[in-house]
A = this chain, B = another copy of it.
């Protein structure tokens, strides 16, 4: 997303440096571990979270190198969660490529994820205050809570909308919130700005996951770079499903009960639940944009608003 955007050209040099630092952190002397990390280094992903950290850092004063390192730590942390998440979701394709565990086995995937977490902590320990390391740790705990609860609510037709929102808040919004506020905190930005960035990151993360869940229903494998319809097949019932079930869609309930996923997906594609979920994402986006308007009017805050808007409009 970001790479194709001319509007973020101001970050080009930093993003090149960020990618370089990420790659430098995906190297190990052990030849087997090196091989596993090498597979991960082949793709940089969207780098939204890392970019958020760069933007956050612009509201205070910090050495550029330090900030880009923290940003790389955030991306490695995200990568670690993806590697473990893919094991859980039994996902074989991510970013258009085979996932670690599908190529090298679940066991390698598990410890590659652990390795990545630790490498992220190495970076944070070298560049951050202990307060931020605690924030990082609390964020990972939050992600774990979200993942564990998602697992326990698989195939549950009685899941509530409240529990869904809590789950995506833990799983996704928490890391967006950290990403945007951490660079600001470490650059000694004004505490009100740090708080505001936390809220903006949170709302943006909620919108991001809502859109992610919508795309899983509406998009194609090719555009997503991973199989669409995966959530429903794995028993992860996202907001469009829950809205439809709540308004008494008996067909959908039957399809899900019978494991008739293709019919369920077809039904959801034009459903009121889908439309309502998009409106929910829009509301979170609006909230983020209103807060972003209260930030100092800088090139970076303008860029942030463009990213927030793009997240809502993205198709992959």
Contact = CB atoms under 8 A, between A and B. Distances in A.
Interface of A: 28, 30, 32-33, 36, 84, 87-88, 105-108, 110-115, 117-119, 121-122, 125-126, 130-131, 133-134, 136-138, 140-141, 143-145, 147-149, 151-152
B149 A121 contact: no
19 contacts: A32-B145, A32-B152, A36-B148, A84-B111, A108-B148, A114-B117, A114-B140, A114-B143, A115-B140, A117-B117, A118-B137, A118-B140, A118-B144, A122-B137, A125-B131, A125-B137, A126-B130, A126-B134, A133-B133
A304 B138 CA distance: 35
Contacts of A107: 87-88, 147-148, 151
Contacts of A115: 140-141, 144-145, 148
Contact of A111 (B28, B125, B137, B148): B148
B111 A147 contact: yes
B152 A114 contact: no
Nearest to A136: B121
Given A33-B145, A137-B125, A88 B110 contact: yes
A257 B125 CA distance: 47
A30 B117 contact: no
Contacts of A134: 121-122, 125-126
Residue among A84, A121, A138, A148 with most chain B CB within 10 A: A148
Contacts of A121: 121, 133-134, 136-137
Contacts of A148: 30, 32-33, 36, 107-108, 111-112, 115
Nearest to A80: B114
Contacts of A113: 114
A7 to B, nearest CB: 36
Given A84-B110, A115-B144, 9 more contacts: A28-B141, A32-B145, A88-B107, A107-B147, A108-B148, A118-B140, A119-B141, A121-B134, A122-B134
A45 to B, nearest CB: 20
A61 B299 CA distance: 50
Residue among A107, A147, A149 with most chain B CB within 10 A: A107
Residue among A114, A133, A149 with most chain B CB within 10 A: A114
Contacts of A122: 134, 137-138, 141
B112 A144 contact: yes
A95 to B, nearest CB: 21
Contacts of A149: 30, 32-33
A202 B105 CA distance: 30
A106 B90 CA distance: 12
Contacts of A36: 148
A87 B114 contact: no
